Amino acid sequence: MKRLSDAIAMALLSLTLSASAASADASQLYETHCVACHGEQRLGGIGPALLPENMGRLRGAAVQKVIADGRDATQMPAFGQVLSKAEIESIVAYIAKPLAQPPVWGMAEIAASRRIETIPAREQKPVFSADPLNLFVVVEVGDHHATILDGDALEPLARFPTRFALHGGPKFSADGRFVYFMSRDGWVEKYDIWSLQKVGEVRAGINSRNIALSPDGETIAVANYLPKSLVLLSASDLAPIRTFDAQDANGASSRVSAVYQARPRNSFVVALKDVAEMWEISTQKGDFKLRRIKTDEPLDDFFFDPGYAHVLGSAREGAVSKVYALDTGREVAALSLPGLPHLGSGISFVYDGRRVMATPHIRSGLVSIIAMDDWSPVKTVPTPGPGFFMRSHENSRFAWTDSMMSKAKDTMSILDKTSLEIVRSITPSAGKTAAHVEFDRYGKRVLVSVWEDPGELVVYDAETFVEIKRLAMRKPSGKYNVFNKINLSEGTSH
């Protein structure tokens, strides 16, 4: 018996030793080949952070392929000739592990990452003759660039590199002069559209979700998963102002799902991923007072009514979405919306004398239309498949939505807002994903992304649906019209 237990102990010891040898090898390989670009603690550098939280859906074989073949349009070289298959596999396993200790990324680290390239001239006028309010900012994630597009001539004015993997809508200063971008690795970049120059950048988190600009234009809020924090930056020079550790009233910590500007309320509204609470942070006089609003469950996707009196929130896995009155913090309605509504892409318009909201669903091929006076369902409109984005404009009778999460990924569906029927399907490029729409400032033209690399922007007449122009782009994930954004168009996300 004793001999058997000795043998098992020996076997276990040798397994432990070989496992720790393998991990020592992996960390050695990381030191030799990866550290220069991806940083000591895998927090990123020239290259992105290599933490499981940051790598999203890039896992296993896909990561092996990037290491072996390199990554197009980035500085990531191919290691296929340098490293064996086993060595690549051990690096993949190494970077799939979370860090033993959560990384520290506080005021000091944020401040140290800040770089200002250009001090914007106060009296600057646009250096171009195009209408500065009918410009589009196009985010091209195919090669990590952004294009400033003249919305009348439909010609690019400038194209510049951005940080790796931008996510969420860029945010604009009230006059439309400055645009702020955020990357999933936590970099916030500021660009001066009028002088077509980058102003600077700062790293506000390690794994970030989105940003919002305060109604007075003075403060940027950054929602972080890693560390679990909300960070406030000065919008003028990107200097950190303060950080909030994301914890509920009982001290339980949470990732921050998203932060939104609530313009009429002079505040930020914050969605917390892991606790049943949302926050409202006052931006009045820069006091940043935090108010906690208790919810039934954690809500991480929001839609606001145009006056920001109510928020409609959904939990990722929940079938019921809840409406809260922001003044009282009370739940005023519960809606059955199965199939994962994408409330962040919701739009609103007037139908039959009532203001309604419409949202696509990520797991069902349908658009839900809901009356906003009593939050009752008005109609469920079938589409060819689950979609992600939806857009319209005050001056257009139509709303456009995609089916990008389905076999019909190449099809855009056009909803008539007066009949709530799909009146036309458009295939910008057969077999290629079509998604994300933006109207020009007048609601006369519609820009649709062919979401591929290389991809395209396809411009349509908003009334006749006739194609006007195609512009080559590198996976244009989103495009944002300056006028529509700064005026909080009811047909676009804010």
Name the residue with tokens 């168009």. 489
Nearer to ligand DHE, 195 or 481 (CB): 481
**x/- string (CB under 6 A) for ligand DHE, residues 436-455?**
x-------------------
**x/- string (CB under 6 A) for ligand DHE, residues 343-382?**
-x--------------------------------------
Of 175, 94, 93, nearest in space to 135 by CA: 175
Amino acid, single-letter form, for residue 386: P
Nearer to ligand DHE, 33 or 190 (CB): 190
Nearer to ligand DHE, 169 or 200 (CB): 169
Contact with ligand DHE (CB under 6 A) among 220, 478, 481, 483 = 478
Q: How far apart are CA 263 and CA 354, in angstroms?
A: 23
Q: How far apart are CA 87 and CA 197, in angstroms?
A: 42
Q: Is 390 in the site for ligand DHE (CB under 6 A)?
A: no
3-state secondary structure of 291: strand
Q: Is 144 in the site for ligand DHE (CB under 6 A)?
A: no
Q: How far apart are CA 352 and CA 333, in angstroms?
A: 22
Provide, rounded to whole angstroms, the least separation between the CB of residue 369 and ligand DHE.
20
23, 15 contact by CB (below 8 A): no
Nearer to ligand DHE, 176 or 478 (CB): 478
Q: Tokens representing 346? A: 């919701």
Element (H, E) at 225: strand 219-226
Nearer to ligand DHE, 210 or 295 (CB): 210
Provide, rounded to whole angstroms, the least separation between the CB of residue 256 and ligand DHE.
10
Q: How many helices (H) and strands (E) does the chain have?
A: 6, 33
Q: Is 258 in the site for ligand DHE (CB under 6 A)?
A: yes
Nearer to ligand DHE, 83 or 148 (CB): 148
Name every residue whose Cβ is closer than 8 Å to that of residue 494 and which is 6 or more positions away in sequence. Answer: 169, 260, 261, 304, 485, 488
- Applying CB under 6 A, the span of 9-17, 128-136, 146-154, 164-172 interacting with ligand DHE comes to 164-172
- Applying CB under 6 A, the span of 39-47, 62-70, 167-175, 371-379 interacting with ligand DHE comes to 167-175
- Applying CB under 6 A, the span of 16-24, 59-67, 117-125, 163-171 interacting with ligand DHE comes to 163-171
3-state secondary structure of 13: helix
Name the residue with tokens 């991809």. 455
Provide, rounded to whole angstroms, the least separation between the CB of residue 342 and ligand DHE.
8
Q: Is 141 in the site for ligand DHE (CB under 6 A)?
A: yes
DSSP per-residue letters across 117-134: -----TT---SSSS-TTS
Nearer to ligand DHE, 210 or 364 (CB): 210
Of 205, 167, 214, 212, nearest in space to 187 by CA: 205
Nearer to ligand DHE, 240 or 360 (CB): 360
294 C-beta neighbours (distance < 10 Å), count = 14
Amino acid, single-letter form, for residue 429: S
- Applying CB under 6 A, the span of 1-9, 162-170, 185-193, 369-377 interacting with ligand DHE comes to 162-170
Of 56, 69, 64, nearest in space to 91 by CA: 64
474, 455 contact by CB (below 8 A): yes
- Applying CB under 6 A, the span of 12-20, 166-174, 285-293, 353-361 interacting with ligand DHE comes to 166-174
Nearer to ligand DHE, 288 or 480 (CB): 480
342, 359 contact by CB (below 8 A): yes
260, 222 contact by CB (below 8 A): no
3-state secondary structure of 28: helix
Contact with ligand DHE (CB under 6 A) among 56, 161, 286, 382 = 56
**x/- string (CB under 6 A) for ligand DHE, residues 305-344?**
---------------------------------------x
Amino acid, single-letter form, for residue 257: S
Residue 226 CA from chain centroid, whole number? 15
Q: Is 210 in the site for ligand DHE (CB under 6 A)?
A: yes
Provide, rounded to whole angstroms, the least separation between the CB of residue 360 and ligand DHE.
12
Provide, rounded to whole angstroms, the least separation between the CB of residue 38 and ligand DHE.
20
Of 318, 326, 280, 281, nearest in space to 299 by CA: 318
Nearer to ligand DHE, 378 or 488 (CB): 488
Provide, rounded to whole angstroms, the least separation between the CB of residue 437 and ligand DHE.
9
Amino acid, single-letter form, for residue 99: L
Q: Tokens representing 2? A: 């004793």
> What residue number has its CB nearest to ligand DHE?
169
Contact with ligand DHE (CB under 6 A) among 48, 132, 151, 169 = 169
Q: How far apart are CA 26 and CA 310, in angstroms?
A: 51
Q: Tell whether omega for the bond before 338 is within 30 degrees of 0, i.e. cis.
A: no
**x/- string (CB under 6 A) for ligand DHE, residues 103-132?**
------------------------------
Q: How far apart are CA 467 and CA 471, in angstroms?
A: 12
Please tell me the count of residues contacting ligand DHE according to CB under 6 A.
Answer: 14
Nearer to ligand DHE, 56 or 161 (CB): 56
Interaction site with ligand DHE (CB under 6 A): 56, 141, 167-169, 209-210, 258, 344, 388, 436, 477-478, 493
